[in-house]
Amino acid sequence: MITSNRVPPWANALASARPVRVACVYIDYQCPDFKIASMSGLRFFRMAKVLARRGYEVDIILNRLNSSRQRGTRLQEVPFRFVRWDAHDVVKPFFIADPSL
């Protein structure tokens, strides 16, 4: 039996003192009255919440608010104009850029 001592690339990030920072991006247009009205919206928020529960620092990137707001432990909502993309280890898009598509 052959065993491998290789460590998955993400294992070091999870074991480090700094948690992995994830940006979950849904829609890039202004949506002050955004409501979850489809399975895709529900999936987006549930996935972000689960990632935060597992120890990741999660930013929900959504143009709903005028400023950042804490939504839970390790979970915050951030408008596009305040996002520092270089501060994130992972960017997970969930959207189509053009709302008419």
d(CA 2, CA 62): 47
- Describe the strand order of the beta sheet including 75-78 as a list of residue ranges: 69-72, 75-78, 57-61, 21-25, 90-93
Task: Write the pLDDT tens digit of every residue in 30-79.
Answer: 666 666 667 777 788 889 999 999 999 999 988 887 888 898 999 999 98
- The answer to whether the predicted template modeling score (pTM) of the entire model surpasses 0.75 is no
In this prediction, residue 20 carries a pLDDT of 92
Percent of the chain residues topping a pLDDT of 70? 66
Name beta bridge partners: 92.
24
pLDDT band at 22, cuts 50/70/90?
very high
Residue 90, CA atoms < 13 Å, CB-side half-sphere: 17
Q: Are β-strands 75-78 and 21-25 bridged in parallel, bridged antiparallel, or unpaired?
A: unpaired
